[in-house]
Amino acid sequence: MISQQSRHCTVELHALPSRIGQVRRIISAQLRYWRLDPLIDHAALGVTELLTNVHRHAQPDKRCTVDVALLLDSLTVSVSDHDPRVPNLTDADTYDTGGRGLALIAAVSQSWGVRPSAGGKSVWFTLPAPPGSAAARPAHCPVYGAATDGPFDGADLEAVILEYGHATARTVVMG
């Protein structure tokens, strides 16, 4: 199942090798649609590594959810599964054939981490959005923030960003 709301995309799947390539293509197409082409390579690499970890290590099943969300100046990609075991960042030896996935994610992302969830965990990483991507939102898409006097339409949000150098909202709901 695929659902999409504004700048949020969710894909539910079984992490099988054939599905990993499909999800990579879905994420790439979604980022193209959002005009975030510069993020495609790193996002596709990260989601591939996280889904491969689910395929190889997750127990009791391979069901998972991929979430991609753009909030102001950051794209967050997360993969949630039903295995509560936390992955480890390891130093792979030169000739090891595995064990580099989280190191790759750490190398290409702004930040990454793991958070427990009900009956499992979520592994996530963030990528910085290209300059102007917050202002590139459609003008008809208001932004409400917990620390703002919102709603702001696209032009108002751009004015806030220009005045303060960033948007002051800590929590954003797009609709």
Joined together, the tokens standing for residue 96 give 């090891």
Q: Which of 19-28, 90-99, 131-140, 143-152 has the highest mean pLDDT?
A: 19-28
Q: What is the pLDDT of residue 93?
A: 67
Give the 3-state DSSP-derived string for 94-110, with helices as H, strands as E and coil as C. CCCCCCCHHHHHHHHCC
The structure's pTM equals 0.71
**For residue range 42-91, what is the model confidence (pLDDT) as tens digits?**
999 999 999 999 999 999 899 999 999 998 889 999 999 999 999 877 77
Taking 70 as the threshold, does the pLDDT of residue 172 lie above it? no
d(CA 104, CA 123): 14
75 strand-pairing partners: 70, 127
- pLDDT above 90 covers what percent of the chain? 54
The candidate with the shortest Cα–Cα distance to 106, out of 130, 119, 124, 93, is 124
Least confident range from 31-35, 42-46, 73-77, 128-132: namely: 128-132
Q: What is the pLDDT of residue 100?
A: 75
Radius of gyration of the chain from Cα atoms? 17
Q: What is the biggest distance separating any 2 CA atoms in the chain, rounded to whole angstroms? A: 56
Least confident range from 2-16, 102-116, 134-148: namely: 134-148
149's CB contacts (< 8 A; 6+ apart) are none
